Chain A
């Protein structure tokens, strides 16, 4: 969410915002319809229009840099900026891997004018969450160094293969940075390497952050409160437009599969699977058991997918992990918003009757059915399937028309 260059004055120059005047009761003394209107307006604003057909990066390598300087101990976000950040990050990590199962995340701490790697780039959710929880006792002193963070990120992301996106997200609370040399050369290097840098500012807009984000084609947002912080953070779970043109490479992947029990050669034998150690829990000493997924190339066992095989380096996944990103490739046609003129009595999706509270109703341009604003929000954000189109024989196919056989 970039700050627009407003021709108006700054926020502190305007008069009081008389927010209480927006609340008006209707004839019965109720505010129900007003609450519904506010909720609809918020939903409409949250569902910002898509920027047209862009290439998205779905296999993502995202580095998260967390500011651990003195500015993070400020208490304008409760209980402190740092603890609020850590709590929101736990949710972010889970949501990130839910939406992008084949991507990898890494954590960096900006401590005391240096950048320190906390976790390596990996797809292991537990490891990241444990590391985030372990950070809560870090002493917050000194100043951060933006340039050292950028250098470290560049060192980590540069050697990676070209088919995945390279991103850096900095959570920055300080208004200063202490850098060894000219940061502009570092920014130029990142730009040539195609690393997309974004910043979420916790204090105020800082010019060098804005420049960095603009040059590398990233996003810059400054938080207003913790709810806004969460919504800004969660925006980064969606794949960004691609930073540079990536080649149509083929990525070798393995899809573990074991033959079903009925097909095994000797039906009379005792079919308990052999007890083996699982590779993802090697350090912890757990994970001894029978069930698991075997890497097709080297037969090492992993208890959960997706995983990067430690022995042979093959990326292991299953078909649903690939399908998780399908809704970006095959999006739902957006619904039209119309004034409620009595075109329909009830919502096609949930059967809720339309009342006077529904000032606007939505219509699908393909199946021509009418939906309430809540179903429209559910379809756009979560379901990605229009119920009307999916139940019509001439509309349910999601293949684009440009497919050539």
Chain B
């Protein structure tokens, strides 16, 4: 956990880039992905430039799988100095571009692109952060954060994965506390914390939560129908917040 007032000695940045071709901004103008990638590479390199001990990981999130674009799992690429650029920056850029090309080439041609599996990519990033924390030298203050760059909307099908990832990430700050005062942060926004009704998918302010689903095995939905017939207001069932894929 990062300290609030003391700056950390080493900062880890994990960037998750959504490369799914069915994002609207890519469909409208495929060249935009190149611009996004250049910006991500520039941001990553400037992060590495802040301190010699800073670390970086970049994850590409495609529709058929997610992969680490940087660091490369095997041996790193052999880079020579080009144009006076710091070799690490060249390595970062070349590795990301090469692995992204491989990721896109490996996509199955006959499948239609599904939704972006960002919750899974976040889980991957959290594993990397956990490892970086474990292998840090004792006494070295580390801080970590995750940046997600995406043009996809939320889907209810990944709700459980998202919630698990968010609860785990409660231990990770974004960004470092002493930097936050210097950044222009987006507005707090109004997050809608209401639960959704099972039968109409409406968001409710008052509802009835099934004590079995919240507190027991998830079997069939018939016990709701039985209980619901005796109650007038709408029924909320915690375990059924996710809409059935058949309904969509």
The interface residues of chain B lying within 8 Å CB-to-CB of A396 are: 117, 119-120, 157-158, 161
Closest to B192 in A: A257
Partner of A297, one of B203, B206, B236: B206
**Interface residue tally of chain B, by bracket?**
35 or more
A248–B210 CB distance below 8 A: yes
Take A383-B123, A396-B120 as given contacts and tell me if A252 and B208 are in contact as well, using a CB distance cutoff of 8 Å: yes
> CB-CB contacts of B57-94 with A at 8 A, as 1s and 0s?
00001011110100101100000000000000000000
Partner of A385, one of B120, B130, B157: B120
Partner of B131, one of A246, A324, A374: A374
Q: State A246–B92 Cα separation when bound (angstroms).
A: 57
A398–B163 CB distance below 8 A: no
Residues in chain B within 8 A of chain A (CB atoms): 61, 63-66, 68, 71, 73-74, 111, 114-115, 117, 119-121, 123-124, 126-128, 130-131, 134, 157-161, 163-168, 190, 192-196, 203-223, 226-228, 231, 235-236, 238-239, 241-242, 244-247
Partner of B195, one of A319, A325, A378, A386: A319
The yes or no answer to A46 lying at the interface (CB within 8 A) is no
**Segment at the interface with B among A23-31, A83-91, A348-356:** A348-356
> CB-CB contacts of A236-270 with B at 8 A, as 1s and 0s?
00010010001111111111111011000000000
13 contacts between A and B (CB under 8 A): A247-B211, A248-B211, A249-B210, A250-B211, A257-B203, A345-B73, A346-B74, A349-B131, A383-B123, A387-B127, A400-B218, A403-B220, A405-B247
Nearest 5 Cβ contacts at the A-B interface: A390-B120, A391-B120, A163-B211, A349-B127, A318-B193
> CB-CB contacts of A349-365 with B at 8 A, as 1s and 0s?
11110000000000000
Give the Cβ gap from B198 to chain A, nearest Cβ, in Å: 11
The yes or no answer to A402 lying at the interface (CB within 8 A) is yes
Take A251-B211, A383-B165, A385-B119 as given contacts and tell me if A330 and B160 are in contact as well, using a CB distance cutoff of 8 Å: yes
A351–B71 CB distance below 8 A: yes
The yes or no answer to A180 lying at the interface (CB within 8 A) is no
A329–B195 CB distance below 8 A: no
Q: State A12–B111 Cα separation when bound (angstroms).
A: 67
Take A322-B238, A350-B127 as given contacts and tell me if A55 and B208 are in contact as well, using a CB distance cutoff of 8 Å: no
